C-alpha cells in the first residue's frame, strides 16, 4: 500500500507540474520577432532589379569575397543554374553570388549579367588566365502577369549588382518578388500577390539570415495562429478559402500545368561551414517553407533554397543550433514577403482586396 501511495503521489505531482507548465508562458513561448535582414550577415550584399514595364525582376545576393555554398531542391519543377557544382563531391568550394529571378527559364539569362559584373571587378575562381565568377541561380514562374515577352535578362542581372548594398533590402513587390503570386491551386483568378521578404537573428556570436521570393501554388499561413495570410480566395473573391481545407472538403482543384509557381530563397550565416553542412542548412530552411506554405513542394513548384556561409565570424557553426534556428528565420521571411506585397499592374482583378 505504501508503495502504491508513493507512486500515486508521484503521479499526482507530475500531473500537477505538467498542468502548471501548460499554463506557463514558457510552454507557449515562440521565437522573438525577427526584424533584421539577410544583409546583417557580414559578407552579404543584396540588390534588386525591378522591371517597370511589367511585374517581374531579379534579386542578387552578392558574396564578393566568396562563400561556401549548398543547395536543396524540393519542388518538382525547378529552373536552376550551377547547382551541380554545389555537390560536396565537386571541385569549387565557394560561390561569388546567388541570383533569384522571375521570368521562368528565360530569367536564368540574368545570371550572365551577374557573372559579367563580377568579372569586371576581377572577382572569380582562378582558372588559367581568367577568373571565372561562380553564380548559382534559380528562377520562378511569373509569366502570367503582363507581357510574358518581358523578362529579366543579362542587363537586369548587371543592374541588380550595381544596386547591391549591405543595407536592408526592400521587401514585397520588388526584385524577384515583383510578379510573385500565391494561392494558385484554384486558378489565378482566385490568387493573391506574393513577394520577397527577408529576416535575420543572432545566435550567440553567429548571425543567421534569409531572403525568399514567395511564388507558391499553396497558401501562406502564419504558423503561430494558423491564419491564412495570403492565398486562394473563395469563388466570390471575398475571403481566404484555405486550399488544402477545400480539398479535404471535397472541392478538387482544376488541372494545373507544371512549373507555374516556385518559391526560391537563400539562407546565410557568418559561421564557418563545409559544403555538406551548407547543404544540410538549405534542407533545414525548407522546414521553414513547410511551416508557412500549404501545400508546399508540389508538382507545379520548383522550390529551391541555397545556403551560404561567409565564415566572417571566424567561428565554426554549431549545426544543431543552426538547424533549429534556420526554419524560424525562413518562416519569418516568408511572412514578411506577403505582408509587404502590393498589387501591381497586370494583377488579376481583386488580387489585392485582402491586403
Listing DSSP states for 245-280 in one string gives HHHHTT-PPPP--TTS---EEEEEESSB--HHHHHH
> Is the residue at 10 inside a domain?
no
The cell numbers describing 332, all together, are 519569418
Domain boundaries, position 160:
34-340
Answer yes or no: is pLDDT of 145 > 90.
Answer: no
> Is the residue at 26 inside a domain?
no
> Is the residue at 3 inside a domain?
no
* Cα–Cα separations (whole angstroms), residue 153 to 8, 157, 189, 213, 234: 72, 7, 28, 18, 36
pLDDT digits (tens, 9 = 90+) for 67-116: 999 999 999 999 999 999 999 999 999 999 999 999 999 999 999 999 99
- Report the share of the chain in percent with pLDDT over 70: 85
> Is the residue at 308 inside a domain?
yes
> Is the residue at 348 inside a domain?
no
> Is the residue at 133 inside a domain?
yes
> Is the residue at 21 inside a domain?
no
- Indicate the number of domains in the chain: 1
274: domain CATH number is 3.60.70.12
> Is the residue at 302 inside a domain?
yes
- Report the share of the chain in percent with pLDDT over 90: 73
pLDDT band at 33 (very low <50, low <70, confident <90, very high): low
pTM of the predicted protein model: 0.87
pLDDT digits (tens, 9 = 90+) for 171-206: 999 999 999 999 988 888 888 999 999 999 999 999
Amino acid at each position: 500500500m505504501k508503495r502504491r501511495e508513493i507512486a500515486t503521489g508521484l503521479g499526482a505531482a507530475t500531473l500537477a507540474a505538467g498542468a502548471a507548465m501548460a499554463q506557463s508562458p514558457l510552454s507557449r513561448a515562440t521565437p522573438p520577432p525577427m526584424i533584421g535582414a539577410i544583409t546583417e550577415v557580414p559578407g552579404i550584399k543584396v540588390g534588386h532589379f525591378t522591371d517597370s514595364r511589367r511585374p517581374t525582376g531579379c534579386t542578387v545576393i552578392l558574396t564578393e569575397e566568396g562563400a561556401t555554398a549548398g543547395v536543396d531542391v524540393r519542388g518538382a519543377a525547378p529552373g536552376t543554374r550551377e547547382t551541380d557544382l554545389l555537390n560536396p563531391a565537386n571541385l569549387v568550394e565557394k560561390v561569388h553570388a546567388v541570383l533569384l529571378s522571375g521570368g521562368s527559364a528565360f530569367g536564368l539569362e540574368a545570371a550572365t549579367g551577374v557573372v559579367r559584373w563580377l568579372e569586371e571587378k576581377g572577382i572569380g575562381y582562378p582558372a588559367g588566365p581568367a577568373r571565372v565568377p561562380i553564380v548559382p541561380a534559380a528562377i520562378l514562374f511569373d509569366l502570367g502577369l503582363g507581357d510574358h515577352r518581358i523578362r529579366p535578362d543579362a542587363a537586369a542581372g548587371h543592374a541588380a549588382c550595381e544596386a547591391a548594398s549591405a543595407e536592408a533590402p526592400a521587401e514585397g513587390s520588388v526584385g524577384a518578388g515583383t510578379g510573385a503570386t500565391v494561392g494558385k491551386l484554384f486558378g489565378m483568378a482566385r490568387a493573391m500577390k506574393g513577394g520577397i521578404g527577408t529576416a535575420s537573428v543572432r545566435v550567440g556570436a553567429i548571425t543567421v539570415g534569409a531572403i525568399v521570393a514567395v511564388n507558391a501554388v499553396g497558401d501562406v499561413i502564419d504558423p503561430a495562429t494558423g491564419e491564412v495570410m495570403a492565398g486562394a480566395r473563395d469563388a466570390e473573391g471575398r475571403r481566404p478559402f484555405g486550399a488544402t481545407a477545400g480539398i479535404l472538403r471535397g472541392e478538387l482543384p482544376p488541372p494545373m500545368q507544371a512549373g507555374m509557381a516556385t518559391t526560391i530563397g537563400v539562407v546565410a550565416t557568418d559561421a564557418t561551414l563545409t559544403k555538406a553542412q551548407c547543404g544540410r542548412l538549405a534542407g533545414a530552411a525548407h522546414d521553414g517553407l513547410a511551416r508557412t506554405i500549404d501545400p508546399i513542394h508540389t508538382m507545379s513548384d520548383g522550390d529551391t533554397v541555397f545556403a551560404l556561409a561567409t565564415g566572417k565570424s571566424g567561428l565554426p557553426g554549431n549545426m544543431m543550433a543552426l538547424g533549429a534556428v534556420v526554419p524560424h528565420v525562413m518562416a519569418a521571411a516568408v511572412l514578411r514577403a506577403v505582408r509587404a506585397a502590393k498589387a501591381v499592374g497586370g494583377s488579376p482583378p481583386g488580387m489585392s482586396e485582402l491586403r
